[in-house]
Amino acid sequence: MTKLPKKNSKKIWPNIKNIIPKGISLDKIDIWFEDESRIGQKGTLTRIWAKRGERPRVVRQQQYLNSYIIGSVCPERGFSEAIISPCCNSDSMHKHLQQISKATPDGHLAVVIMDRAGWHTTSEIYDLPNVKPLFLPKASPELNPMEQVWQWIKQHCLANRTFADYQDIEDSACDAWNIFTSCKELLNTMCSPIWAKRDI
């Protein structure tokens, strides 16, 4: 199991060089950032525009139906993959890694940067020859740009609204992800931290 030490978090490539198999050049390494977020009826509230002096009402459900977006982006290549799942576990994570594997060009290796959630650290899910995990330090969500992705998606697409049923949640989550990933400039700007820049 390889993780990104906090003291080296300003530069990721020295750590990547330690985990890649022999024979793969660094220009064939694709950096992916992965995370998951709950989407559900008990959603979030955000600020809204209103005339001065007015206090507009917004809705917030109190029911508990929810689903999860398990998503990853590769900003350098402009790739993105996601799966909608009723739960976060090793099975759903494995299916998502299969998505990344299929999206990775021949001869390339996908290095997936993620936190140390239990369903991420199960060794059985890493049976794909072109996918390698790289774990972030504990309690360091600020190093994962996917946190900003979820904030943008919820603020712009999913907040201040209600969902009729589970299918509505899934459809809305898919639409929100597709809206975000359709703007390649936004994806690249939001998901390209300086510490992950290629230094070869």
CATH code of residue 167: 3.30.420.10
Q: Tens of pLDDT along 87-134? A: 999 999 999 999 999 999 999 999 999 999 999 999 999 999 999 999
Q: How many C-beta neighbours within 10 Å does residue 141 have? A: 10
pTM of the full predicted structure?
0.86
Tokens encoding 69: 């977006």
Give a yes or no: residue 199 inside a domain: no
Which pLDDT belongs to residue 8?
44
The CA distance from 187 to 29, in Å, is 19
Please check whether residue 57 lies inside any domain of the structure: no
Q: Is there a domain that residue 121 lies in?
A: yes
Give 3-62 pLDDT, tens digit per residue: 454 544 456 776 777 777 777 888 899 999 999 999 987 777 777 777 888 877 777 767
Q: Flag whether 91 is in a domain.
A: yes
Outline where the chain has alpha helix (H).
13-17, 90-103, 146-153, 166-181, 184-190
Q: Tell me how long the chain is.
A: 200
Q: Structurally, how many domains does the chain consist of?
A: 1
Residue 200 lies in a domain: no
In a domain, 108, yes or no: yes
With a cut of 70, say whether residue 168 has pLDDT above it: yes
Residue 37 covered by a domain: yes
- Domain of 188, in residue numbers: 6-15+24-41+63-193
Residue 46 lies in a domain: no
pLDDT at residue 2 is higher than 50: no
DSSP class per residue in 26-82: GGGEEEEEEEEEEEESS---------TT------------EEEEEEEEETTTTEEEE
